[in-house]
Structure 1
Amino acid sequence: MYTPAHFAASPEALKALLTQNNAANLVTMSPEGLLATLLPFVYDPSVGEHGALQAHMARNNPQWSLPVSGEALMILQGADAYISPSWYASKAEHGRVVPTWNYSTAHAYGELIIHDDAGWLATHVRRLSNQNEAGMPEPWTVDEAPERFIAGQLRAIVGVELVISRVEAKTKLSQNRAPADVDGVIAGLRARGDSASAADVERARTS
């Protein structure tokens, strides 16, 4: 990943990308070429040196059963947003401004392990559901569904776990702009209703 020094993700930003995202694209090279699937995941920091991204996919998806050539890759994406040059204070000063795009992303590389057993899958889907239901007024749990129904659902999926060997992360959040331009970006994003992107820019400025 091309990452200028001023856009390198801080340890806090990387942790947020790993723990606060809901899904990532799993990319593998197979004998049939590149394959990709968007998967909800749970980050488990206790696995290996850098942790693991644990997910599942439909059993009918051929990606899990085809041999993987080299490393597997999962692409995590944070909030992203179009940045208008009209938000920059420097536009009024000299006009030498152009549009850009702000974003946070991480590329996690590693070995892909397949889990085709009900025990691993049962623990995984419970963790995944609990993670995503945590903010709900009345969180749903796996125990609310009939046991036989859940057993049938588990037979229809296969677990995939990326044991991370390295991570490349980037937060392009207006760090290369003058303070007055950053103020304008935050105000512009908030006026557009994009509070998540505005908060990212604010965190990047103070980190």
Structure 2
Amino acid sequence: MYVPAHFEESRPEALHDLIAQNPFGSLVTHGKNGLDANHIPFLLLPEEGKLGTLHAHVARANPVWQDVANGDEVLVIFRAGDAYISPTWYPSKQEHHKHVPTWNYRVAHAHGRITVRDDERFVRGVVARLTRTHEAVQPAPWKMSDAPAGYVDDLLKMIVGLEIEITALEGKLKLGQNREARDARGAGEALQARGEHVIGDAMLAVVPAKPA
């Protein structure tokens, strides 16, 4: 990934936080059948390994788990919002008109080595932790025990676990850091006014405060 210095985010804790808040990732593999991409939710275990470990599961019918070999290098891409930026939102555009449209976004790339975990205990643990994490905000969280035991057991046989040891993390936060503060602020406020708060709020968070 091309990452100019002013857009780089290299702190593991910041990238772990981005992944945890945006766990739906794109798993890119290069197996026996060539390049492939699968879009699946991940569970991050930041304390496992040097840079953390990712756990996930796929349908047994999905060929990806048979296409890769244990130890293969893979890439998982996590997106944390994106937005079109109009040059009309820059105050300085009215002075010199030397601006063009662009696109702002936040993304983390997790490079790692994959291991296929085709065992019921691992898969049950992944599903349980994913469920607890994402049901926590519900008024009455659903639990695996809410479904008949035999029903859950049958469904678990239809999925396969994946474990990815993260070997490298890189992040890119393109939020107008290369613009004048007034222009970055103008674009961020315009996004907020349009209801695009993910990138709008992120842009304003990195812009120096307005002069008193």
Give 1:168's match in structure 2, choosing from 170, 175, 195: 170
Partner of 1:119: 121
Shift of 1:202: 2.4
Instruction: Give 3-state SS (helix, strand or coil) of 2:9's partner.
Output: coil
Q: How does 1:6-17 map to 2 (within 5 A)?
A: 6-9=6-9, 11=11, 13-17=14-18
RMSD: 1.5
Question: What percent identity do the matched residue pairs reach?
Answer: 43
The alpha carbon displacement at 1:179 in A equals: 1.0
Distance 1:10 1:185 in 2: 25
Tell me the residue number matched to 1:73: 75
1:4-32 Cα offsets, whole Å, 9 max, x none, are 11000152541322211131011111121
Aligned counterpart, 2:104: 102
Question: Which residue in the other structure is 1:4 paired with?
Answer: 4
**Contact 1:115 1:159 (C-alpha < 8 Å) held by counterparts:** yes
- How far off its partner does 1:46 sit? 2.1
Unaligned stretches of 5+ residues in structure 2: none
Aligned length: 206
Name the structure 1 match of 2:131.
129
Equivalence map 1:16-165=2 (5 Å)? 16-68=17-69, 70-165=72-167
- Specify every segment of 5 or more residues in structure 1 that has no aligned partner in the other structure, as ranges: none
1:180 to 179, 182, 199: 182
Which amino acid is 1:164 matched to? Answer: I
- What is the SS of the residue equivalent to 1:140? coil
Opposite residue 76 of structure 1, the aligned amino acid is: F
Does structure 2 conserve the Cα–Cα contact (< 8 Å) formed by 1:22 and 1:132?
Answer: no
* 1:172-191, Cα deviation, whole Å (9 max, x unpaired): 01111111111111211111
CA distance in 2, matches of 1:107, 1:193: 27
Q: 1:146 to 1:82 in 2, by over 3 A?
A: same
Question: SS at 1:151's partner residue?
Answer: helix
Distance 2:95 2:139 in 1: 49
Distance 1:14 1:198 in 2: 19
Q: TM-score, normalised by structure 1?
A: 0.94
Comparing 106-115 with 131-140, which one deviates more in the overlay?
A: 131-140
Q: Is the 8 A contact 2:16 2:46 kept in 1?
A: no
* Pairwise CA distance, 1:114: 0.9
Alpha carbons 1:30, 1:67 under 8 Å: kept: yes
